Structure 1
């Protein structure tokens, strides 16, 4: 659902609104802290959730900043016709404070031009300079 040109982020949700990642916490206390740079992800799963929220709020800059230097595209443009509607974390391996690598398997729900869809992916994460970053898809099954 991503294209390769720059795009300005949409307005972030109010800090008291529910976070798009589905934790039930307010955006300002959850992914909003990561998007603003006030905090870094403590785990691969937390980074995955914050990246999903970045897709939901159209924050391509955050997505690029949290992408491994080895696999990051130069530019990223998000499809404005996609509305991300829910996230299910299915499984994790590694990815904690005690690991340097991890995977997060998830299902992200969306609508595109009013039609529902989902993206099933097993994403790989690693630490670069002490920070969790997205590396690549281990497996993907868009529907």
Structure 2
């Protein structure tokens, strides 16, 4: 009997935190690295969620409208984002200058589960979609 050497399997690409069935490097990664622009408010919102998961402050600030952008983002070390549900999206096509996305972002903080339910408003600024502000929901 001969023994076959097992070929090492290539590592699986990391899934994108935004919840779409794609690898991070093919989904939100290009937006984070400045190689692509969000085509819709939903795509921008998903990429911003992924940026919160990855603690990418530079991308979050770049994708925030200058009128409402904070000076910096303080990430809570005890908070871990666990999943995203997009509930609704309005407007935001190539023919719109505004759009909204309602979502639930699930997290754990100090071992306790929670969720952030928000309707976010997006607008175009210098041709790009940016986050303007949001309204928290019950």
TM over 0.5: yes
- Which segments of structure 1 move beyond 2 Å, counting only runs of 4 or more? none
Return the match for 1:134 from 120, 131, 135.
131
State the distance in 2 between where 1:131 and 1:15 align: 32
Q: Report which of the two structures shows the higher radius of gyration computed on alpha carbons.
A: 2
1:70-94 deviations in Å (ceiling 9; x for gaps): 1101111111211100000000111
Counterpart position of 1:7: none
Consecutive unaligned residues of structure 1, counting only runs of 5 or more, are 1-13
Q: Structure 1 length as normaliser, TM-score?
A: 0.86
CA contact (8 A) 1:109 1:119 kept: yes
Q: TM-score, normalised by structure 2?
A: 0.89
- Residue of structure 1 equivalent to 2:52: 55
The answer to which structure, 1 or 2, has the higher relative contact order (CA under 8 A, 6+ apart) is 1
Please give the per-residue CA displacement for 1:72-124, whole angstroms capped at 9, x wherever unaligned: 01111111211100000000111121211000000000000111000000000
Rounded Cα–Cα distance in structure 2 between residues aligned with 1:111 and 1:15: 26
Q: Which runs of 5+ in 2 are unaligned?
A: 1-10
Deviation for aligned residue 1:15 = 8.9
Q: Which residue of 2 aligns with 1:96?
A: 93
Aligned residues: 128
Matches within 5 A, 1:69-80: 69-80=66-77
The 8 Å contact of residues 43 and 96 in structure 1, kept in 2 or not, is answered as yes
